[in-house]
């Protein structure tokens, strides 16, 4: 009987330890503090046409850095980037295209705003690229160390 009670107590302690580990271990990293870092699929809207681009943004405090690329502009770098109160602005510089001044804000899961270049201002928006997770890894199994 004592052996049965001892085994029951050990099982309860072990289950309680696993239960507390599972409940306190986050299953995913929350990125609300940095909603703009990452790669974005961008659409520039110019006179009824849509021009795709890619932004790679990095937020460091209230400073935004990164790069951009489109078939129209080629590769570009971001300068004078700032982030405050869900709004941002930066300038994109290119080797063979006029600079593009970008302003915008976070709206749900999208970035939206206006850009100015070549003497006109128009709208743009962007959706964050989804990062594929490795096959066979689930949030619960990775949190438990499997």
**Residue 94 domain-assigned (yes or no):** yes
pTM of the model: 0.69
Parent domain of 59: 38-128
Say which CATH number the domain at 59 has: 2.40.128.20
**Residue 14 domain-assigned (yes or no):** no
**Residue 4 domain-assigned (yes or no):** no
**Residue 44 domain-assigned (yes or no):** yes
Residue-wise pLDDT tens digits, 2-60: 656 655 556 544 455 544 444 343 333 444 579 999 999 999 999 999 999 999 999 99
Residue-wise pLDDT tens digits, 130-142: 877 777 655 555 5
**Residue 122 domain-assigned (yes or no):** yes
First vs last C-alpha separation in the chain? 35
How many structural domains are present in the chain?
A: 1
């Amino acid at each position: 009987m004592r052996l049965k009670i001892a085994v029951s107590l050990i099982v309860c302690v072990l289950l309680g330890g696993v239960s507390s580990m599972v409940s306190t271990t986050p299953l995913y990293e929350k990125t609300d503090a940095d909603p703009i870092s990452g790669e974005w699929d961008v659409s520039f809207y110019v006179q009824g046409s849509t021009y795709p681009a890619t932004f790679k943004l990095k937020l460091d405090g209230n400073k935004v850095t990164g790069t951009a690329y489109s078939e129209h502009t080629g590769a570009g770098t971001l300068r004078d980037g700032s982030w405050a109160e869900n709004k941002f602005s930066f300038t994109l510089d290119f080797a063979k295209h006029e600079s593009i001044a970008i302003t915008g804000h976070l709206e749900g899961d999208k970035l939206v705003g206006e850009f100015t270049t070549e003497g006109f201002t128009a709208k743009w928006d962007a959706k964050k690229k989804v990062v594929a997770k490795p096959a066979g890894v689930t949030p619960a199994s990775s949190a438990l160390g499997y």
